[in-house]
């Protein structure tokens, strides 16, 4: 990667402006080295982790994360159970309505047959 390409990538990154300026200055001074790229990658990873922390996504092994994940799973499970119960009730109502409708059709057919026989 050339110095210009690396500078362009830094300018396009989500790093803070002061960090971008510091990295560009360092690249201009030192050139592109494996050590510099490693350190830049670490700095970008730190920014990514800060973003996750701001979003409430932290260390997945922390007790707080585990508690939050469990609470979220419990909420989703409860919502799913409520949804399934509602769907079961709707299905039961639909089946009952279908049964009543079929009985009404049968009654009407029987009445039509009876009326035609009587005529």
Which residues touch 15 (CB under 8 Å, ≥6 apart)?
23, 43, 44, 47
- The reported pLDDT for the residue numbered 52 is 75
The pair of structure tokens assigned to 36 is 């510099």
Report pLDDT for 58.
61
**Directed axis angle between helix 34-54 and helix 17-30, to 10°?**
170
Structure confidence at residue 102 (pLDDT): 95
Q: Give residue 98's pLDDT.
A: 96
pLDDT at 95: 96
* Both structure tokens of 87: 């769907």
The CA angle 72-53-22, to the nearest 5 degrees, is 160
Q: According to the model, what pLDDT value does residue 115 have?
A: 87
pLDDT attached to residue 60: 65
Mean pLDDT by 10 residues, the chain (119 residues): 87 87 92 88 84 70 80 91 94 96 94 86
Considering the entire predicted model, what is its pTM?
Answer: 0.45
């Amino acid at each position: 990667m050339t110095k210009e390409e690396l500078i362009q990538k830094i300018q396009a990154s989500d790093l803070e402006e002061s960090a971008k300026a510091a990295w560009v200055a360092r690249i201009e001074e030192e050139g592109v080295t494996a050590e510099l790229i490693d350190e830049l990658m670490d700095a970008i990873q730190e920014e990514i982790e800060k973003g996750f922390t701001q979003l409430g996504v932290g260390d997945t092994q922390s007790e707080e994360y585990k508690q939050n994940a469990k609470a979220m799973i419990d909420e989703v499970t409860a919502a799913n159970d409520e949804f399934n119960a509602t769907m079961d009730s709707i299905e039961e109502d639909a089946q009952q309505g279908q049964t009543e409708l079929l009985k009404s059709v049968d009654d009407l057919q029987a009445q039509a047959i009876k009326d035609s026989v009587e005529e």
